[in-house]
Amino acid sequence: MVASLESSDRSPVVGLVIGTEDATPLEFWVGLAPDAYLQLDDVVALERTLPGPGETVRIFGVVNQVRARFEGVERDSDVFHVAEATLPAETSRAALIQATRFEPEIFVPPLPGQEVRKASDSLRDEALFFDGMASRVPAGLSRDDEPIYLNLEFLDGTRGAHVNISGVSGVATKTSYATFLLYGLFHSGVLGNEANNTKALIFNVKGEDLLFLDHENTQLSESERARYGALGLSAGAFSSLSVLAPPRPDDPTATPQVSSRISGVTSFFWTLHEFCRDELLPFLFADAEDDRQQYTMVVHNVAHQLARATAAGDGAVSIEGQVVRTFRELVELIEAKVLDEDGDGMRWAGRSIGLGTVNAFVRRLWGAVRDLEHLIRADVPHPERHAVRFEEQVTVVDLHNLRDRAQRFVVGVVLRRAFERKEKEGHARPLQFVVLDELNKYAPREGTSPIKEILLDVAERGRSLGMILIGAQQTASEVERRIIANSAIRVVGRLDTAEAGRREYAFLPHVQRQRATIIKPGTMLISQPEIPIPLVTQFPFPAWATRSSEAAPSRGQGPDDPFSGL
């Protein structure tokens, strides 16, 4: 049943449509009553009765601009005379409304003098299309602490998929918002019984902030806890978490390389057998510019030869009768094979490949040894315990201690395995979310690379497979266009002024582009397909720890636990 505007006690009249500015179906001005005000992002509603049969059209909109000025003066300096009461003038306050919805869809302008109400409750839900969302994901709160939602159908692949988040590093809180979205998905009930089997893979690229998602935040205030309640969420930590970190270099026991978290962390690496069998060599050459080099042909030829290796126990391999147990030994063997002009060189490097190209490949391969020999090995018992698996609801793969080349290798290999896993399942549910920051590094606008090809596959085919990308970057203008274009939901935090002027942000109205350069951390602009204008939202302070100093003891931890006193 549709509520009447007049019958809504919580939707008071705030002004009248003015007649000195054109009113159109797209936007119109409202003169504000002396005892009322509107601010940016407020939602309003009005009704217009049409001629003839008297059908009523309900018009909804969002405040896009607010102005105040003197009426009855001509010069700027007259303001001083008005202030001294020597010149009469009236203060005029007006708000520019951008229309969002017409019910029914008869696109007529409001008439001057019609009452305009501030929409709340069911009227606000109707104005912002929340009433038609069968499954709503908490996206944050308005400036009045009213809930804002995303339509799950544009997130889970039903009608669209993928989220893209842009903003200045350290200020835009991109990763914090991504984890907030995941928390809402897992704890709001929107996924129903699927929530327990839905997985999230998070690549941690900066510091150790994401290693404590399973610890409640001791700095969460009661007021912030209440904001979670306004969204229908209970404030807490992620209940199911697996933390994976690279092993310390030169450590024969593969101890995880983390400093702030002592327990609950597993090191990860790949065995030489996996490296050869799965043809992972191209991910050592994952820079976007590498594919323009001739030695990429050598890369694929060598990878094909390595795939013929046989297992030699504990992750080692036997290649043409030679047992290899370390990554350095493998590189030495490859070098000998590709440079063997009289024997295996043509077979391993490829036909008609010049010596200069082979030497370029060898130099590049040796350059990877220092960065990756602790990640590709066969010297640790029970290597299967160090595999990247997706057993918990959330899996955090820590990259921040790795050099750039090692980061690319890990991201590429883990993403490929996650994608292949979803392909083999043969059905989209349960969903697999992937959170990846610095998207411009892994999927740059120019060039190609193995990682970029996987990310394009995720962006273009992930919707049907149930693999959803939540990508983030400082500059969307530097990310592959097809990845941005396939993101149904776009989120913008604080932007650099020059970046805000790029055409990638054309979906933001001019005023919101300006605001994006000054908004505070915790405020985001969200665009989703059903709502014609982006909504400004604020999300609560994280209820999970973002550093060791905030971490409360996990459930079941004893007094001897290193975090028990925090």
Q: How confident is the model at residue 286 (pLDDT cuts 50, 70, 90)?
A: confident
Task: Tell which wins on pLDDT, 489 or 565.
Answer: 489
Q: How confident is the model at residue 288 (pLDDT cuts 50, 70, 90)?
A: very low
Q: Distance between CA 234 and CA 250 in Å, rounded?
A: 44
β-bridge mates for residue 49, sequence order: 56
pLDDT beyond 50 at 563: no
Sign of CA dihedral 284, 286, 287, 293: positive
Q: Give me the pLDDT at residue 448, please.
A: 83
CA 445 and chain centroid, separation: 18
Q: Give me the pLDDT at residue 173, please.
A: 86
pLDDT tens, position by position, 536-555: 999 999 999 988 888 887 65
pLDDT tens, position by position, 359-376: 888 888 999 999 999 999
Q: Hey, what amino acid is at 115?
A: E
pLDDT beyond 80 at 287: no
Q: Distance between CA 103 and CA 349 in Å, rounded?
A: 67
Q: Do 418 and 467 contact (CB within 8 A), yes or no?
A: yes
Beta strands in 250-399 (DSSP E): 265-267, 270-271, 310-311, 317-319, 322-324, 376-377, 394-398
Domains assigned to the chain = 13-132 (no CATH), 153-263+388-502+538-550 (3.40.50), 270-377 (no CATH)
Task: Tell which wins on pLDDT, 105 or 344.
Answer: 105
Q: How confident is the model at residue 144 (pLDDT cuts 50, 70, 90)?
A: confident
Q: Give me the pLDDT at residue 269, please.
A: 95
Give mean pLDDT, residues 496-521.
Answer: 91
Task: Label residue 356 exposed, middle or buried (CB < 10 Å: 0-12, 13-18, 19+).
Answer: exposed
Q: Distance between CA 311 and CA 331 in Å, rounded?
A: 17
Task: Label residue 560 exposed, middle or buried (CB < 10 Å: 0-12, 13-18, 19+).
Answer: exposed
pLDDT beyond 80 at 4: no
pLDDT tens, position by position, 304-326: 999 999 988 889 999 988 999 99
pLDDT beyond 70 at 123: yes
pLDDT beyond 90 at 159: yes
Q: Distance between CA 253 and CA 42 in Å, rounded?
A: 58
Q: Give me the pLDDT at residue 360, please.
A: 85
Task: Label residue 113 exposed, middle or buried (CB < 10 Å: 0-12, 13-18, 19+).
Answer: exposed
Task: Label residue 39 exposed, middle or buried (CB < 10 Å: 0-12, 13-18, 19+).
Answer: exposed
Q: Distance between CA 547 and CA 207 in Å, rounded?
A: 9
pLDDT beyond 70 at 102: yes
CA triple 231-390-286, angle to 5 deg: 105
Quote the mean pLDDT of the chain. 89
pLDDT beyond 70 at 560: no
pLDDT beyond 50 at 94: yes
Half-sphere exposure (Cβ direction) of 193: Cα atoms closer than 13 Å: 0
Give mean pLDDT, residues 177-196.
Answer: 94
Q: How far apart are the first and last CA of the chain?
A: 52
Q: Distance between CA 507 and CA 40 in Å, rounded?
A: 18
pLDDT beyond 90 at 290: no
pLDDT tens, position by position, 434-492: 999 999 999 998 888 889 999 999 999 999 999 999 999 999 999 999 999 999 999 99
CA distances from 41 to 101, 141, 286, 488 (A): 15, 12, 44, 22
